[in-house]
Chains A and B, each alone.
Chain A
Amino acid sequence: MPLLEIEKIYQRKEEIREYQKANVESETLRFIEDCLWDLNLPQILEKAKISDRELEAWNKLYGFLDDLSPEEWQQFDEAIRRRPLFGKKNINED
């Protein structure tokens, strides 16, 4: 609101100063609100939630197969060993 109009409403200097102070404070609050809006808090919180889930998931893989027997380990290691994807004919074709 223009200062002249304020002076019409608030007659005393103290009142005007009070108004200006309140105005500055509300502007500051609006600024903070705008900042928070720009930061997109829900998005930040969602991102943090995803991050936590991701880390938690990797933590679960640590020692994930602890209860495997030596035979099962051998079978697992053999199965995950990298081999040509397209390089060899199926053994049944021979």
Chain B
Amino acid sequence: MKTKGFTLDTNIITALIKKDERVLARIRTTRESDLHVTMNAISYYEIKRGLESIRRLEKLKEFESICHDLGILFMDQKDILDHASGLWAKLSQRGLIIEDADILIASIAVVKDYILVSDDTHFERVPELIVENWLKQ
């Protein structure tokens, strides 16, 4: 199946926020090939959590505006939760369980046909999920 683009995990978005040139370069080349680069619901939640914790209102407002233009992959399909629960059981049976947040991110990516970009190696345990690490290339 043809991928619609890439969804970035929180560690990759944080690297971009911390001015990692590699991430920005990959976003630019990906956009040139007409593929989307998106944030996913869990990463949005985690970054927003960080901004709320430092209580910088202007940053929160700016982040909201940025995310409006970025587009977010939400957990807006029952299929995502069905995939996530099946994945949890599968990994659990094999003794390879990963955190719930990771399971949900992986399921959003798989169901919506996106490649996940992450610096976490444990996503390799997830069947069907295509993972790239833009910090290691």
Contact = CB atoms under 8 A, between A and B. Distances in A.
Interface of A: 51, 53-66, 68, 72, 75-80, 82-87
B70 interface: yes
Given A57-B66, A57-B69, A68-B54, 4 more contacts: A54-B36, A75-B54, A82-B102, A85-B100
Nearest to A71: B54
Interface of B: 10, 13-14, 16-19, 24, 27-28, 31, 34, 36-37, 46-47, 49-54, 56, 59, 62-63, 66-67, 69-71, 99-102, 104
Contacts of B19: 62-63, 66
7 contacts: A58-B27, A58-B37, A62-B19, A65-B18, A75-B50, A76-B53, A78-B53
Across the A-B interface, give the 10 residue pairs with the lowest CB-CB distance, nearest first.
A79-B53, A57-B69, A80-B50, A85-B100, A76-B50, A79-B50, A53-B69, A57-B70, A72-B54, A63-B19
Which DSSP category, helix, strand, loop or mixed, fits chain A's interface? Answer: helix
Nearest to A72: B54
A77 B63 CA distance: 16
A61 B100 CA distance: 26
Which DSSP category, helix, strand, loop or mixed, fits chain B's interface? Answer: helix
Contact of B51 (A51, A58, A76): A76
A51 B14 CA distance: 22
B24 A58 contact: yes
B101 A85 contact: yes
Contacts of A82: 10, 46, 99, 101-102
B37 to A, nearest CB: 6
Contacts of A64: 17, 59, 62-63, 66
A85 B14 contact: no
